[in-house]
């Protein structure tokens, strides 16, 4: 990687994204990032900042009602004694495993059988199109046939991954991950009233759109590419997602 690439929005922005994720935070990386900020003369208050500290190791005990349901503004689901596999529950509800177990459960689902035995009530996260993570999968492999999804979008929908999916591995085999935004693009795919979902509204084509981009789009993003991944950022030309 050349010196200019180290100072690019793709690189610095990607590091900031990782450090702002509790699962992606690393003290050594944080020190390197601070050094890079000084070298690049990036001032405090700039967009390239992070506020995350290393997560503490905690063990959550299952209760009959998960604490997050008290403030739940969405639907709830009461576990049955047979619901011992968090991934099967997530798949049946069309939600990601990670967002489902955010209901005061441990991220590796080890406490899920105990929660099921107590008929724990969970707050159901926003629905999304899910994909079952297989052995040998990587973010690049999952996204290669999903040209409409950038890595930045995928990471935003699945906060359990760190920047560039460096922590993706076999320990999440079987997990459900979102390959569409939870709740839909701008909420247009969420069907809360029981009727047909509303159709996306076309947005004006931006002036910096790359040549050949389609004109009929509901979402426009500016992207850059690094190491085969597409990241949202500041680049001379943007791309459209139709």
Kindly report the backbone phi and psi dihedral angles of residue 21, in degrees, each rounded to the nearest multiple of 5, phi listed first: -100, 120
Residues facing 230 on adjacent strands = 225
Same domain, 2 and 51: yes
Same domain, 166 and 185: yes
The residue range of the domain holding 208 is 200-242
Kindly report the backbone phi and psi dihedral angles of residue 229, in degrees, each rounded to the nearest multiple of 5, phi listed first: -100, 150
Return the pLDDT at 110: 79
List, for residues 82-115, the tens digit of each pLDDT value: 999 999 999 999 999 998 988 877 767 878 899 9
Determine the Cα–Cα distance for residues 155 and 177; give it in Å rounded to an integer: 10
Same domain, 127 and 237: no
Determine the Cα–Cα distance for residues 148 and 146; give it in Å rounded to an integer: 5
User: Got the DSSP string for 6-17?
Assistant: HTSHHHHHHHHH
Structural domain contains residue 195: no
List, for residues 31-61, the tens digit of each pLDDT value: 776 776 666 666 555 656 666 554 443 333 4
Determine the Cα–Cα distance for residues 158 and 176; give it in Å rounded to an integer: 10
Domain count for the chain: 3
Split at pLDDT 50, 70, 90, the class of 72 is confident
Structural domain contains residue 159: yes
Over the chain, what is the mean pLDDT? 70
Positive/negative CA dihedral, 137, 139, 142, 145: negative
Find where tokens 């910096």 sit. Answer: 208
This prediction has a pTM of: 0.53
Determine the Cα–Cα distance for residues 6 and 100; give it in Å rounded to an integer: 36
């Amino acid at each position: 990687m050349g010196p200019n690439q180290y100072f690019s929005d793709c690189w610095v922005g990607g590091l900031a994204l990782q450090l702002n994720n509790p699962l992606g935070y690393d003290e050594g990386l944080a020190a390197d990032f601070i050094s890079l900020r000084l070298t690049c003369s990036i001032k405090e208050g700039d967009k390239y900042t992070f506020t995350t500290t290393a997560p503490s190791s905690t063990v959550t005990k299952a209760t009959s009602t998960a604490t997050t349901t008290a403030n739940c503004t969405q639907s709830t689901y009461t576990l049955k004694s047979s619901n011992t596999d968090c991934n099967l529950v997530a798949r049946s509800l069309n939600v990601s495993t990670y967002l489902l177990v955010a209901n005061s459960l441990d991220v590796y689902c080890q406490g899920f059988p105990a929660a099921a035995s107590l008929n724990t009530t969970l707050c159901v996260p926003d629905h999304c199109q899910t994909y079952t993570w297989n052995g040998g999968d990587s973010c690049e492999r999952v996204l290669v046939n999903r040209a409409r999804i950038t890595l930045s979008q995928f990471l935003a929908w699945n906060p359990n991954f760190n920047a560039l999916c460096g922590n993706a591995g076999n320990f999440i085999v079987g997990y459900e991950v979102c390959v569409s935004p939870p709740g839909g693009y701008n909420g247009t795919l969420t069907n809360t009233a029981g009727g047909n979902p509303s159709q996306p509204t076309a947005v004006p084509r931006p002036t910096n759109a790359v040549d050949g981009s389609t004109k009929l789009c509901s979402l426009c993003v500016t992207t850059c590419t690094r190491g085969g991944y597409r990241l949202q950022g500041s680049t001379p030309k943007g791309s459209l997602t139709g």
